[in-house]
């Protein structure tokens, strides 16, 4: 009788486990498949979509270059009171433009982890061989300009804005 009761409890536990975790794995698998349809694999740097993204990114960087000096304009002077104050309307507009360019730069950082590159040792021969292995791409980017890009995307003006607000 005790063995039967133990096996019955085990059977109930296994059925419960199957119902609980079987559905979770199915849901996770469906979610993973749905997300992966939007995440590109390794991309060729000569593809048309990458070339268009690079043009858009350069324009975004130019906008960032022209937006950053506007942080000096957010300070205004009240002539009658002889004091300096912060124009919060202008500050909010400048911070929102800067945040937009930072978000685009962050997307470019993520793209760099999926962008194939030409192997340096194959450049001598001519056209070069594209490296399209994701781990090699990530290692190459992390050893290259990743930390420079990460420093550039730090939201220093936005942090100073929130500090003085």
Q: What is the pLDDT of residues 34-59, one digit of tens each?
A: 777 777 788 898 899 999 999 999 99
Q: pTM of the full predicted structure? A: 0.68
Domain hosting residue 11, numbered range: 1-39
Same domain, 50 and 29: no
Summarize pLDDT for 91-147 with one digit per residue, the tens: 888 888 888 999 999 999 999 999 999 888 777 766 778 888 999 999 999 999 999
Same domain, 30 and 96: no
Would you state the structure tokens that stand for residue 158, as one six-digit string? Answer: 């936005």
Collapse the DSSP code of 75 into the 3-class scheme (helix H, G, I; strand E, B; otherwise coil) and give the result: strand
Same domain, 66 and 31: no
Which ranges in 40-133 belong to alpha helices (H)?
48-67, 88-112
Residue of 155, 165, 42 lying closest to 96 (CA atoms):
155
In the chain, the number of structural domains is: 2
Same domain, 14 and 72: no
Same domain, 96 and 32: no
């Amino acid at each position: 009788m005790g063995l039967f009761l133990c096996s019955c409890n085990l059977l109930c536990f296994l059925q419960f486990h199957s119902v609980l975790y079987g559905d979770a794995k199915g849901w996770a698998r469906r979610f993973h498949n749905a997300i992966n349809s939007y995440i590109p694999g390794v991309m060729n740097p000569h593809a048309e979509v990458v070339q268009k993204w690079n043009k858009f990114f350069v324009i975004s960087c130019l906008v960032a270059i022209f937006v950053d000096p506007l942080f000096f304009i957010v300070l205004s002077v009240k002539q009658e009171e002889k004091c300096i104050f912060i124009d919060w309307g202008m500050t909010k507009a400048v911070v929102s433009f800067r945040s937009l360019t930072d978000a685009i730069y962050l997307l470019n950082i993520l793209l760099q982890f999926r962008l194939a590159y030409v192997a340096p040792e194959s450049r001598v021969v001519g056209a070069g061989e594209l490296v399209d292995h994701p781990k090699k791409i990530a290692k190459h980017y992390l050893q290259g300009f990743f930390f420079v890009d990460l420093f550039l995307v730090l939201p220093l003006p936005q942090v100073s804005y929130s500090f003085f607000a």
